[in-house]
Structure 1
Amino acid sequence: MPSFSPQSRAALLALPLMLLAAQAGAHTGEGINTGFASGFWHPILGWDHVVAMVAVGLWGAFLGSPSIWILPVVFPLVMAVGGAMGVVGMPLPAVETGIALSGVILGLLIAFAVRAPIWVAAVIVGVFAIFHGHAHGTELPEAFSPYGYAVGFVVGTGLLHMIGIAFGFLTKSEIGKAAVRGAGGVIALVGAAFLFGLA
């Protein structure tokens, strides 16, 4: 078992408290001192974003190759386009509804083990990515560089996709497939909670 210095132990114990303290302001970037950091934490500390982005990785893993890699690439690329739309002030109706629906629909696709063709899956993921990106772009703090912020939220999104992919590898066993489908159901419920204003 590795040994840690007292300073390391203190830092490890403080990390959860710092994350909890940052959560209240991270969705808008308040209290975060760089564009990259604000962009990075924005998707990670917003549950409406988390469930959809993990779902993309899960669904890609469930569909198998090449979806396992294509979907998590399509999402941040298209999300960056939506982010640019938000930064320049281009209107997009029902952004919050689109974000909530992304959790509901992607969760249900996983829960019901829907095996869509790769182009259909990419279109579904791309449409939802526009909404997520637009939300990131419109919430860009004025004091921060849009470039650093954009790189931050793409990196944060990629991390969430990788978490979904990692859990998606459970589909190699029947028990794992059931667990992943159950996770899809949970994601759909979280999305529904946001959709109906319960979260």
Structure 2
Amino acid sequence: MKTTPSKTLPSLAAAALTLASGAAWAHAGADAGVHHGFAAGLAHPFTGLDHLAAMLAIGFWSVLGGRRPWAAPLAFAAMLLVGALLGLTGIAVPAIEPMIAASLVAVGLLVAARPQLPAAAAAALVGLFALFHGAAHGVELAGDGAAAALAGMLAGTVVLHLAGMAAGSAVRTRSAWWPRAAGAAVAGFGAVLLAPMLLG
């Protein structure tokens, strides 16, 4: 039986959405209490593609956005800690997964469009999203050695922001094609994660 392209493409798209969303949300509380100590916390931001992409993109965008490039990364790290503490104490934060996906769409579009936002507005925007990223992390890092794990998580976050800032600095004076492509990729990834929730 021959499969037509019109039937194959939707099937492949559905499979990609399922795989991507499953990989992204596997971190959200599924392994609560198993991350102990600084080293585990340090590695943790690198283990979820959604967190990884968001932190790199925020560093990337902060350099492209003009003045006070540290405002957004510092706000993200601070609110990430607040969200993680909420998760550790068992305070429920609603809509964690949709907001993490939405953060990727928003930050990706910001990277692509490169709007010149005031530093306070940029910090407030990424800080809001960081609260949800932190809440997802906090649930996972709960347990013995949580304080050291949180310290490691913040260190890992700073490393990813620095990597994003270095990448942004490298392409800032080049063709606008690079930021647009990077931003579109991050926004597209967020849209892939968000689509099953909106369609479901």
Q: TM-score range by the shorter chain?
A: 0.7 to 0.9
Identity %: 38
Asked if 1:126 corresponds to 2:127, the answer is yes
Q: In structure 2, how many angstroms separate the alpha carbons of the residues matched to 1:197 and 1:159?
A: 31
1:196 counterpart SS class = helix
Query: TM-score, normalising length from structure 1?
Result: 0.78
Matches within 5 A, 1:84-103: 84-103=85-104
Matches within 5 A, 1:1-199: 27=27, 34-66=36-68, 68-142=69-143, 144-175=144-175, 177-197=176-196
In structure 2, the CA distance between the partners of 1:60 and 1:89, relative to structure 1 (3 Å rule), is same
Q: In structure 1, how many angstroms separate the alpha carbons of the residues matched to 2:181 and 2:162?
A: 19
Q: In structure 1, how many angstroms separate the alpha carbons of the residues matched to 2:196 and 2:97?
A: 10
Offset of 1:65 from its aligned partner?
A: 2.9
Offset of 1:38 from its aligned partner?
A: 2.1
Q: In structure 2, how many angstroms separate the alpha carbons of the residues matched to 1:97 and 1:35?
A: 29
Provide the residue aligned with 1:6 in structure 2.
none
> Is the 1:58–1:110 Cα contact (8 Å) retained in structure 2?
yes
Provide the residue aligned with 1:8 in structure 2.
none
Task: Give unmatched runs, 5+ long, in structure 1.
Answer: 1-22
Offset of 1:29 from its aligned partner?
A: 5.9
Q: In structure 1, how many angstroms separate the alpha carbons of the residues matched to 2:101 and 2:35?
A: 28
Query: TM-score, normalising length from structure 2?
Result: 0.78
Superposed CA RMSD = 2.4
Q: In structure 1, how many angstroms separate the alpha carbons of the residues matched to 2:60 and 2:180?
A: 9
Amino acid at match of 1:148: A
Task: Give unmatched runs, 5+ long, in structure 2.
Answer: 1-22
Q: What number of residue pairs does the alignment pair up? A: 172
> Is the 2:80–2:133 Cα contact (8 Å) retained in structure 1?
yes
Amino acid at match of 1:70: A
Amino acid at match of 1:56: I
